[in-house]
Amino acid sequence: MKKIMMLIAGMVIVLGFSRISNESVDSGTTFAKDALAPFVENGQLPGAVNVFYKDGLQENACVGYADVAAKRPITMNDVYMQCSQTKGFCGVTIAILIEEGKIALDDSVSKYLPEFKELWIHGSTTGSVKTLVRAKNALTIRMVMNHTGGFPFEICAKQGNIKGGGWSGGAPLRQTAAIAAACPLLFEPGTKEQYSNTGIDIGAAIVEVVTGMRWEDFLKARVLDPLGMVSSSFWPTNKQLETQVEMYDCVKDAPAKHRVQNDMQQRPYNDAHVFASAGAGLWTTANDQLKFYKMLMNLGVGENGVRILKEETVRELLAKSTRPKGMGGYSLGLSAPEEDTEDAWFGHGGAWGTNCMVNWHRKELKLWAVQLCGDPRPWDAACSEAETKFFKYAIDNAGTDAFTGRVK
């Protein structure tokens, strides 16, 4: 009897691991590829990676080029700037520390960064004189991570150096936090929302104080390496940049136009002027990004079976909003619904058009990777239609030969 029980337990472990490892079976479908092909042919869409996933069934579409001039096809292993999708990675590092009891979501930021103890807010303006008023509410970790802290998109020092404001090069995270504390807030903390790279960088600075590590090193040790994200870094190597997805400007009714760089993230991409920013800046590949978002979709477990967070941590801190009601949905560095329902998706997008969203209830994921600035994006409707077709196909074929070999 003892041997039988051990055998059963072993079977449970094997089956359980296979389920949470998110082994994917090629769907054999080409919904996205077919939908996007006309836009690649007319040059409006230089190249894109699209992935649909549902409960083990996956469709990958690599269409067009990473470099149009060189006719280099885009692949799942080409590096690209994910920009603001970096925020979700900071959210996970904050969630890890909350889970370990080292910080609490409603702790005052000044508990870890004393410069935030006294904050000032822009008041009325009379002529050329601006009035400042002292903030009444304590700034919390929750507020900086869900964009309700009152900070501008970037600190004043960055806004003055870059056309339009941005994160090019950046500054050390503790320095960014110190400058942010010295600048007036836009509103009383916790009373409004304002999308801000600055707030997320403050969250990362707290991680540095609590762990005694640079935030990017903590991220690598606790998230990137365990998930096997070997191609994700703030400093892509010269070898990696040979596979870079080049950047383009959208042009109405005409082929997209190549651009050398964007003012907000300038070449060279890996020299000493680049600092890690939690608000934006992490380079990745489609294959690497899938590993991160599948971990979120699977409530904390990576496709390789490694657990990064507890289920309840993902459900309560990342998959649903941490803002007060009525302020829109946002959790910790991730777009998330105010109410977590069966139809709820959470994830994040980036400035150059990248996006990945997951639904943990239905084990669904949709990833989009491009490097495009501006509008229009006429393929969006076609891609949305392809998405509908894929998920309907996946549901209709659940339990059929498409899933043969999923459980080993």
Amino acid identity of residue 370, one-letter, is V
Closest CA to 52 of 285, 286, 246: 286
Confidence at residue 270, expressed as pLDDT on a 0 to 100 scale: 80
Give the type of residue at 257. K
Concatenate the DSSP letters of all residues of 83-104 into one string. Answer: GGGHHHHHHHHHHHHHHTTS--
30 vs 361: CA distance, rounded Å:
25
Place of tokens 């190597």: 237
Phi, psi of 227 (to 5 degrees): -85, -5
Are 282 and 85 in contact by the 8 Å Cβ rule? The answer is yes
Measured between alpha carbons, how far is 189 from 118 in angstroms, rounded to an integer?
A: 12
Asked whether the bond before 376 is cis by omega within 30 degrees of 0, the reply is yes
Tokens 């069934």 belong to residue: 57
Cβ contact 50:74 at 8 Å: no
**Averaged pLDDT, 139-165:** 79
- According to the model, what pLDDT value does residue 5 have? 45
Q: In this model, does residue 403 exceed pLDDT 70? A: no
Say what the pLDDT of residue 19 is.
Answer: 42
Residue with tokens 């092909």: 37
Query: What is the C-alpha to C-alpha distance for residues 199 and 55, in angstroms, rounded to an integer?
Result: 35
Between 218 and 396, name the one with better pLDDT: 218
Residue 246 and residue 236: Cα distance in Å, rounded?
A: 14
Cα–Cα–Cα angle for 358, 218, 351, rounded to 5 degrees: 45
What does the pLDDT average to over 167-177? 80
In this prediction, residue 138 carries a pLDDT of 97
Q: Which distant-in-sequence residues (6+ apart) come within 8 Å of 126 by Cβ?
A: none
Overall average pLDDT of the 9-17 stretch: 38
Residue 24 has a pLDDT of 86
Average pLDDT for residues 262-274, to the nearest whole number? 77
> What pLDDT is recorded for position 269?
81
**Cα 196 to Cα 146: distance, rounded to the nearest angstrom:** 9
State the Rg of the chain over Cα.
22
Other beta carbons within 10 Å of 123:
12
Which CATH topology does 78-247+254-281+301-336 take? Beta-lactamase (3.40.710)
Q: Which pLDDT value is given to residue 166?
A: 47
SS3 annotation, 238-296: HHHHCCCCCEEECCCCCCCEEECCECCECCCCCCCCCCCCCCCCCEECHHHHHHHHHHH
